[in-house]
A and B are shown apart, each in its own frame.
Chain A
């Protein structure tokens, strides 16, 4: 150890430097002002602006009166989903004290599929499409929020707080929901199955445009709550006991965070469909480049990364691949690789 203990501290007796700041003896250098987060945010913001401009204008054929609102709605949907997935993942990882689980891995996507399958199975695709879109959207969101809050509360309360139990529960629930869905898909009409298959991958091409503003309202509220909680989230990084010592009501705060997470994940999934690994990808990238542990930095960085990935990916998809593949496929592929890499490295940060 390279530390030198000053003689005054090793000898019993009064220690003058304890009473006041050591102004004359060894002045501590002022804390370095960390400018990195600001530059990262500015850089990401600028890149996103370029990507958004490219998305709006490149390859536009026909009247701007059509192209701009058409692409604008799509852009808004991507912004909503990108922010919701990124912010919810960061918050979820903070309260569960891990960096490899995301809310969607915890059985959420499977539940969404089960919900769709059950609807098609029980009332048929014709009647399902007859339900007014906002009503169906709100119903799906409500069911998933309820499920999410109950599941997370159950998993995170009491003494069963280990990450291993969370992973196991997520996998078991996911398999359970998937088995139920696949059982039902075997029984339904093949034509009905076609309708269902559209719901299985996230898509920014086939979502219901009338729902974007409703989703924006719900997600806006959730994101505003997340922002208001940012300083308390920082303290939660220290774990339950230290947070309690610092005067944060741990149980209440975690409860509130989980409701916000459930709203964010449910609404964005109900809007465009499930994106399993996307959150993991942007959250872990954000931790790496943000240069700060503070949620006031990490959440915006993750959100910008999320939107950027979606917008850039969608632009490439539309202009380069000419819709030959699905955006979700690209994201899931990259996200899956990152997830495996994190597991292999045993990275718990």
Chain B
């Protein structure tokens, strides 16, 4: 589904993504973890064609993201970026409706409105649908942006730190929803997360990156182990099994 073939991205002298080779299958939830500056977000941006490649190729569904027309890709890949600043004043419903643009080209149909209503409902934003984004909390805004991404109704969802600004309750709810998107709607979900245990609990597959390269990848129980994590983060990490699941602790 997503094939990253020796992807390279450099900023000046720094190779932020340094020859990453990765093949993610269709369906399921993949988490990308790693320390700051590991190139996680850049890798996600490369797949989402938000940043141009300096080397290698990225294929989504067999389509090269550099050469395929943007509006074709917009019906296959949706991405959430980290910052959610907006210059103009929009309501939640306005924002989510933008998610239909790849399908409607701005001429919203009743079917589009149904998608919008479903996405708003899915993110529990029903009571906030007609509020302005700049009058909402960071967490609420974050959910509105996720609703927009879901509304795009693509097979691939790329989310850069979807748990930003969310309290534990909403963070859990968000991960449950992404899980549901993968399990019930058959989406391929890729998230960048900082919380190792969130990754361990909710992912089918974990990719651990460091210094622009993929260090390890595999199912949670293979990646969430002291040797791998200590190596990736450069920090002693111990892993305990709680209720049959690996749990990393790293406070000294």
Other-chain residue from B48, B81, B167, B184 in contact with A15 (beta carbon distance below 8 A): B184
Q: Is A63 an interface residue (CB 8 A)?
A: no
Complex-state Cα separation, A167 to B179, whole angstroms:
46
On whether the beta carbons of B50 and A237 are closer than 8 Å, the reply is no
Instruction: Please tell me if B139 contacts chain A, counting CB pairs below 8 Å.
Output: yes
Are A245 and B50 in contact (CB-based, < 8 A)?
A: yes
A71 at the interface (CB under 8 A from B): no
User: Of the 9-residue stretches B168-176, B192-200, B209-217, B221-229, which lies at the interface with chain A?
Assistant: B168-176
Task: Compute how far the CA of A144 lies from the CA of B10 in the bound complex, rounded to whole angstroms.
Answer: 37
- A247→B74 contact, CB < 8 A: yes
Given A26-B121, A245-B74, A293-B89, A3 and B101 touching (CB < 8 A)?
Answer: no
B176: contacting residue among A4, A10, A21, CB under 8 A: A10
A235 close to B98 (CB less than 8 A)? yes
**B152 x A246 contact (CB < 8 A):** yes
B117 interface contact, C-beta 8 A: yes
Indicate if B25 sits at the interface (CB-CB under 8 A).
Answer: no
A208 to chain B, nearest CB (A): 39
Taking the closest CB of chain B, its distance from the CB of A163, in whole angstroms, is: 9
Given contacts A14-B180, A242-B81, contact A247 B75 (CB under 8 A): yes
B121 lies within 8 A of A9 (CB)? no
B44-58, CB under 8 A of A: which get 1 and which 0? Answer: 000011100000000
Q: Which residues of A contact B233 (CB under 8 A)?
A: none
Q: Chain A interface residue count: which class?
A: 35 or more
| Chain B contact patch, size range | 35 or more
Per-position 1/0 for A214-251, Cβ under 8 A of B = 00000000000000001110110111011011111100
Chain B 95-107 near chain A by CB (<8 Å), digits 1 or 0: 0001101100111
Once bound together, how far apart are the Cα atoms of A231 and B124, in whole Å? 28
* Nearest chain A residue, comparing its CB with the CB of B91: A293
**A99 proximal to B (CB < 8 A):** yes
* B residues in contact with A247, CB < 8 Å: 69-75, 101-102
Query: Across the interface, do A237 and B70 meet the contact criterion of CB distance under 8 Å?
Result: no
Contact A31 B48 (CB under 8 A): no
Binds A, one of B14-22, B32-40, B126-134, B236-244: B126-134
Q: Which residues of A contact B152 (CB under 8 A)?
A: 245-246
Asked whether A14 and B184 contact (CB < 8 A) given A1-B140, A21-B114, the answer is yes
Q: Are B101 and A5 in contact (CB under 8 A)?
A: no
Does B106 lie within 8 Å of A21, measured CB to CB?
no
CB atoms of B74 and A5 under 8 A apart: no
Q: Is the CB of A21 within 8 A of B50?
A: no
Q: How far is the CB of A28 from chain B (nearest CB, A)?
A: 5
Q: Which residues on B sit within 8 Å (CB–CB) of A242?
A: 81, 98
User: Could you tell me the distance in whole angstroms from the C-beta of B133 to the nearest C-beta in chain A?
Assistant: 11
A29 CB, min distance to chain B CBs, angstroms: 8
Contacts of A32 in B (CB 8 A): 130
A269 CA to B239 CA in the complex, in Å? 70
Q: What would be 26 A-B contacts, judged by CB atoms less than 8 Å apart?
A: A1-B167, A2-B127, A3-B127, A5-B169, A5-B173, A9-B173, A12-B176, A12-B179, A18-B184, A18-B185, A19-B184, A19-B185, A31-B113, A98-B87, A99-B87, A231-B106, A235-B98, A238-B86, A239-B87, A242-B81, A245-B78, A246-B98, A246-B99, A247-B102, A287-B88, A293-B89
